[in-house]
Amino acid sequence: QVQLVESGGGSVQAGGSRRLSCTTSGDTYSTHCMGWFRQAPGKEREGIAAVYPNTETAWIRDSSDFAKGRLIISFDNAKSTLYLQMNNLKPEDTAMYYCAAEPNPTANSAYCYTFNPEKYSVWGPGTQVTVSS
């Protein structure tokens, strides 16, 4: 059974940084597309990044404020863990952050290029990030 667990959330002052982790179970890391999402209170879940860990390929959503260079995605293949480094955090970044996974039947990284939460079938419980001004 595929399982995802996020960690690394917490409280941070504006301008600070936070690194989130998403640890996967089984062969998820090498066979699935993965994505990072966030959901602020009263808002819809928003896609931030799309990832194919098997080839260490990642895309940041162009329309996301994080596309302005505040976000770095990294990989630890030995630990089957995906990281989301967020820098220069702003109060509007306060949200629950989730990672999600979906099997990639093609083994082609392009298949993973989606920021639509409806395309992902497995979700972690989320980790809260709160940014104070």
Q: 62-116, pLDDT tens digit by residue?
A: 777 777 789 999 999 899 999 999 999 999 999 999 999 999 999 899 999 999 9
Q: According to the model, what pLDDT value does residue 27 have?
A: 82
pLDDT category at 34 given cuts 50, 70, 90 is: very high
56 strand-pairing partners: none
**What is the distance of C-alpha 29 from the center of its chain?**
13
Alpha helices per DSSP H over the chain: 28-31
Q: Is the model more confident about 65 or about 46?
A: 46
**Burial degree of 49 (CB within 10 A; 0-12, 13-18, 19+):** buried
Dig out the tokens for 25 from the structure: 């179970």
Dig out the tokens for 119 from the structure: 């395309």
What does the angle CA 3 – CA 5 – CA 9 come to, to the nearest 5 degrees? Answer: 165
Dig out the tokens for 125 from the structure: 């419980």
The rounded distance, in Å, linking the Cα atoms of 42 and 45 is: 10
